[in-house]
Amino acid sequence: MQRRIPRLAAGALAAAGVLALTACGSGFSGSSSSGSASGGLTSGKSALTVLIGSSGDAETAAVKSAVADWSSDSGTKATVQAASDLNQQLSQGFASGKPADVFYLGADTFANYAKQGSLLAYGDQLKNKDDFYDSLVTNFTYDKKLYCAPKDFSTLALEINTKLWDAAGLTDADVPTTWDQLKTVAQKLTKGKVTGLVTSNEYQRLGAFMVEAGGNLMNDDSTKATADTAANTQALTYVQDGLKSGWWKFTKDVGAGWGGEAFGKQQAAMTIEGNWITGAMKSDYPGVDYTVVKLPAGPSGEGTLQFTNCWGIAADSPNQAAAVKLVEQLTSKDDQLAFGKAFGVMPSIESAADGWKQEYPDYSAFIDSASFAKGVPTAAGATDVVTDLNSKLGSLKTADVAEVLGTAQKNLSALQG
């Protein structure tokens, strides 16, 4: 089994993957984004303000450098601020009528802002629109309009501890490609204080199995609740069987805060996380060798969940034209590959995929999963429903799967009015 794993810094998507979906604050501006519908954009000499939710110094420095380069070339001044609490500061900016011109925006919260009229729906005007992954475009489409450019993304993959794998007598030929094979190797890896597979109990991890069974909580454009389907029942029943058999445990049951911690402490021989795990392994568990492979296919084929952010532009921005030009530069191939090298994120445009894989060949499983990845629900209010679902999934081992999914179905259906 491959042992050499390049150590990338954790990307901005760590929060999207490790934390539960969070609800957006209230009190948005009543501004309309109708200007973008007719193609008209505000313009002027106003400097741009850029608000980001940074994973650390490396990300902040990389974004500041890219924005400074664009500013120098365009002649438009622009400043970057790393938010201490992005959602709170965005909400406060809109409420005051003085939002940042350009800002990070999560797929789980953008629909709330779009519904309130706080965002400029500029995506269809981008010159590089056709280069974004289709699934990412779907994530940021609301009312049939692409509101914002996907900034970057991550997918879930299977991380395997190579030392524990070898000790169990497993080889490259045993890398699981089906649910049955995952169960088999996890059983062999479960010994003493080590559990074969440890994950969080969140939909943001278990939902990958829903996708592999042919389901998800909502349809692709988050306009219809699909929680109580046979596919989702099959997925959660598979997880439940693993919990009952003992080859699968949740992080809370081993005293870990998330999958990366259980994996790093070698309580777990395998876990399921996105590429943000690489930064944690480098900084906290540098002595643990591991490899990354695609998640095993389910009854419906390959599947995984994706997590993404976009570059939002405020409907109230007095210099929308310059803001759109800035976003086009920040989502260009050169800038996205530079961001990947600086802080570990994957590019949101297909033309940059080969360059990213050449730089990080041992991480190809993450970006190779893009073609079958599905997004989390983006309907306004879905974050609260998912939070409620996660609280119930914590007791999945003894829960009534049909009841859990039925409640989620009822709550998600209510969002459509």
- The pairing of strands 141-142 and 373-375 is unpaired
Residues 102 and 187 in one domain: no
- Would you say residue 19 has pLDDT above 90? no
Q: Over the stretch 198-224, which tens digit does the pLDDT of each residue have?
A: 999 999 999 999 999 999 999 999 999
Q: By the 8 A CB rule, do 292 and 366 touch?
A: yes
Q: Is residue 2 part of a domain?
A: no
Residues 219 and 276 in one domain: yes
- Would you say residue 87 has pLDDT above 70? yes
Task: Calculate mean pLDDT across residues 327-354.
Answer: 94
> What's 35's DSSP letter?
H
Task: Report how many domains make up the chain.
Answer: 2
Q: Amino acid identity, residue 256?
A: A
- Would you say residue 156 has pLDDT above 60? yes
Q: How far apart are CA 93 and CA 100, in angstroms?
A: 7
> What's 314's DSSP letter?
B
Residue 22 confidence class, pLDDT cut points 50, 70, 90: very low
Residue 343 confidence class, pLDDT cut points 50, 70, 90: confident
Q: How far apart are CA 251 and CA 394, in angstroms?
A: 10
- Would you say residue 32 has pLDDT above 90? no
Residues 211 and 293 in one domain: yes
Residue 282 confidence class, pLDDT cut points 50, 70, 90: confident
Residues 395 and 248 in one domain: yes
CATH code of the domain covering residue 222: 3.40.190.10
What is the reported pTM? 0.86
User: Which residue range forms the structural domain that includes residue 284?
Assistant: 156-304+380-414
Residues 241 and 94 in one domain: no
Residues 92 and 192 in one domain: no
With CA atoms as reference, report the closest residue to 137 among 335, 344, 349, 372: 349
Residues 337 and 393 in one domain: no
Q: Over the stretch 189-201, which tens digit does the pLDDT of each residue have?
A: 999 999 999 999 9
Residues 311 and 388 in one domain: no
Enumerate residues 6+ apart whose C-beta is below 8 A from 296: 158, 176, 177, 178, 179, 181, 182, 212
Residues 258 and 127 in one domain: no
Task: Calculate mean pLDDT across residues 12-36.
Answer: 34
Q: Is residue 103 part of a domain?
A: yes
Q: Is residue 5 part of a domain?
A: no
